[in-house]
Amino acid sequence: MLSPASLLEFNFRWSTMMPGEVLALTLLMVFATLATVEFFAPREKLPKKHLRQSYQTNFSLFIVNSIALSLVSASSLLAIAERYSDKGLLKTLSSPAWKAVLSFLMLDLLVYLWHKACHSFDGLWMFHRVHHNDPYLNITTSFRIHFLELVSTSFLKATLIILLGIEQTMVLTSEAIMTLFIMFHHTNISFVGEKLLGYVIIVPALHRTHHSSQRSEHDSNYGAVLSLWDRLFGTLSELKSAEIGIKGSSPQDLINLIKFGFGFTLPTSSTVKPINIDAMIAEAAYYKAEKRGFSPGNDIRDWLEAKREIIALVYGEHPVKNIFKRKHQHRFLKFMGFSMDHKRIQYF
Ligand SMILES: [Zn+2]
């Protein structure tokens, strides 16, 4: 039962909370606020069923990552900072303000460069594409990170902290600012002044371009907080992307998504077989001609019939009588190297 004494104790505990706990609480509150705005005033109206799947997968991945990374998370970075803060390159600076500004700028630049590398090298893209394969960009997409990518990022940050001697307070502040901004630029919202704000920081519209399924568009806007780095290195793009996610089919559930990050179920160019309806029609027409002994004068009729049958078979408009019953269509297409999903052709 809540007594005045316990209330007092609660207030006392609140006031003596560690800064880390206060920051965690702040992040949680910002998350709740952004998620609410996203829910009631989304930039893009997303199908509820798919959004639910995205939330489920991303939250699960967040939990897996939190467990897997409990040893190399912010607390480890803080421990490293405590040990090396008076040994790095920044110790030559006497102004604490400059130290703080430079520490933040260098950490933000590191994240920019690392993110750019994740897009440039196939081995790194394999992990990073887990983050990009969410077809419905929302605030929880910021949690959809393969744990190997998180470990590598923490390792690189630790190296920079040692090299520069970044102080504990700045590590904590930078980590909090970055997490806030990463949640913010993934949120499915738009607002007045967004374009203007984009001159300084990465806003949702800019990061949306980064999640385009088109490589020419997603190889841009790598920044975490400041858009300065993208402007400086010529990687800024303000294109409006038509489609979000990655090309081809990829898993959306937790287990297969983690496997996907290790290269399993990767659709490679050798297994992708583009459908060639014309070739299928030609083959079917030839089969018809062969059946009637190649007698002349029936070529156009054969071709038209073949076309009707193949189109019905591929798109499932109506069952093809006598030849392929609907229940055999899937099996046949699978045999040919294709699969059908809701009347759309999916490549293996
Ligand atoms: Zn990316």
Plot region of 144 (φ>0 → left; ψ -120 to 50 → alpha; else → beta): beta
Q: Considering all CA atoms of the chain, what is the largest pairwise distance in Å, rounded to the nearest integer?
A: 101
Residue 309 lies in a domain: yes
Q: How far is the CA of 60 from the centre of ligand 1 (A)?
A: 20
- Is the distance from CB of 323 to CB of 308 less than 8 angstroms? no
Q: What is the pLDDT along the chain (348 residues), one digit of tens a residue?
A: 444 444 444 444 444 455 667 777 888 888 889 888 888 888 888 777 778 888 878 877 787 777 666 555 566 777 777 777 778 888 888 888 999 999 999 999 999 999 999 999 988 998 899 899 888 898 889 888 888 888 889 889 989 999 999 988 888 889 889 989 999 999 999 999 999 999 999 999 999 999 999 888 889 999 999 999 999 999 999 988 878 888 877 777 777 777 777 766 544 443 334 456 777 778 788 777 777 777 777 778 888 888 888 777 666 544 444 444 445 555 555 555 444 443 333 332
Residue 270 lies in a domain: no
Domain boundary among 234, 261, 288: 261
Residue 111 lies in a domain: yes
Residue 3 lies in a domain: no
Instruction: Give residues with Cβ within 8 angstroms of 76, minimum separation 6.
Output: 154, 158
Residue 269 lies in a domain: no
**182 and 321 in a common domain:** no
Domain boundary among 230, 261, 292: 261
**168 and 41 in a common domain:** yes
Q: How far is the CA of 132 from the centre of ligand 1 (A)?
A: 6
The 3-class SS string of 211-277 reads CECCHHHHCCCCCCCECHHHHHCCCCCCCCCCCECCCCCCCCCHHHHHHHHCCCCCCCCCCCCCCCH
Domain boundary among 261, 285, 305: 261
**185 and 98 in a common domain:** yes
**316 and 192 in a common domain:** no
**165 and 289 in a common domain:** no
Q: How far is the CA of 196 from the centre of ligand 1 (A)?
A: 23
**250 and 104 in a common domain:** yes
Q: How far is the CA of 210 from the centre of ligand 1 (A)?
A: 6
Q: How far is the CA of 129 from the centre of ligand 1 (A)?
A: 7
Closest by CA to 219, choosing from 199, 241, 235, is: 235
Supply the DSSP symbol for 345. Answer: E
**308 and 200 in a common domain:** no
Looking at the DSSP bridge assignments, the partners of residue 344 are 341
Q: How far is the CA of 118 from the centre of ligand 1 (A)?
A: 7
**190 and 299 in a common domain:** no
**337 and 296 in a common domain:** yes
Q: With the CA atoms of 45, 49, 55 and 60 taken in that order, what torsion angle do they form, in degrees rounded to the nearest 10? A: -160
**194 and 87 in a common domain:** yes
Q: Is the dihedral of CA 173, 61, 117, 238 positive or negative?
A: negative
Residue 151 lies in a domain: yes
Q: How far is the CA of 222 from the centre of ligand 1 (A)?
A: 6
**159 and 247 in a common domain:** yes
Q: How far is the CA of 206 from the centre of ligand 1 (A)?
A: 12
Q: How far is the CA of 212 from the centre of ligand 1 (A)?
A: 10
**248 and 200 in a common domain:** yes
Phi, psi of 137 (to 5 degrees): -60, 125
Residue 6 lies in a domain: no
Q: How far is the CA of 98 from the centre of ligand 1 (A)?
A: 30
Range of the domain at 314: 277-347
Q: How far is the CA of 119 from the centre of ligand 1 (A)?
A: 6
Q: How far is the CA of 44 from the centre of ligand 1 (A)?
A: 20
Q: How many CA atoms lie within 13 A of 311 on its CB side?
A: 7
Residue 267 lies in a domain: no
Looking at the DSSP bridge assignments, the partners of residue 212 are 244
Number of domains into which the chain is organized: 2
